[in-house]
Amino acid sequence: MLVLVCSFHPEQPESPWIMTKGALGLAIHTEGTTSAGAVARRVDPGERTRPVNSTPSTVSFSFNAGVFGAGVEHPVGGSATGHEWIVRGYGASQARLRWDFRSTKRHPLVGDHPVAVLIEFDPEQEHRAEVLFSAEMKHPALGLRRHRAQLPLKTITLTA
């Protein structure tokens, strides 16, 4: 089991930058493999959501012809409650996996988000995991900026 925590916090409390999206990738490599290499058996979370309470909206059409006026109101949208995803995990039964993080209208992408993967591998062979992170940040005056980084912790050696 490999557990990672993605922390989304502004560098300074008064920073105008807002994190809008993030992605954490993990590539599992097996050295000198002659058989099947290491694979992720379970990715957690598969999806993490937050509740959404929205008010249904309506579309109105009206016209006036002299002293006579008529109008039609039609409700638009589905239910008033639901869920929006903030974290999604991909890659079960594969050697390459990833988690996508996003902010929603009511829930900014701030705080700690733990993610985990259960990895199956042969303890006789050497295995390593490489971590890659990408992010999209927004500034009120400068717009969107995308960043991609190989983390300082470039590889993680997997042992039984």
Domains and CATH numbers, the chain: 2-52+85-158 (2.60.40)
**Predicted pLDDT of residue 95:** 87
Position 126 confidence tier, pLDDT thresholds 50, 70, 90 = confident
pLDDT in tens, 8-45: 887 777 878 888 888 988 888 887 765 668 888 888 88
Look-up of token digits 């099947």: 36
Mean pLDDT, rounded, for 127-150: 79
Sheet of strand 111-120: strand arrangement: 2-8, 111-120, 39-44
DSSP state of 123: T
Report the 10 Å Cβ neighbour count for 128: 15
Q: Which residue has the higher pLDDT, 55 or 1?
A: 1
**Predicted pLDDT of residue 101:** 92
pLDDT in tens, 69-93: 666 666 665 555 677 888 899 988 8
Instruction: Please determine, for residue 118, whether its predicted confidence score (pLDDT) is greater than 70.
Output: yes
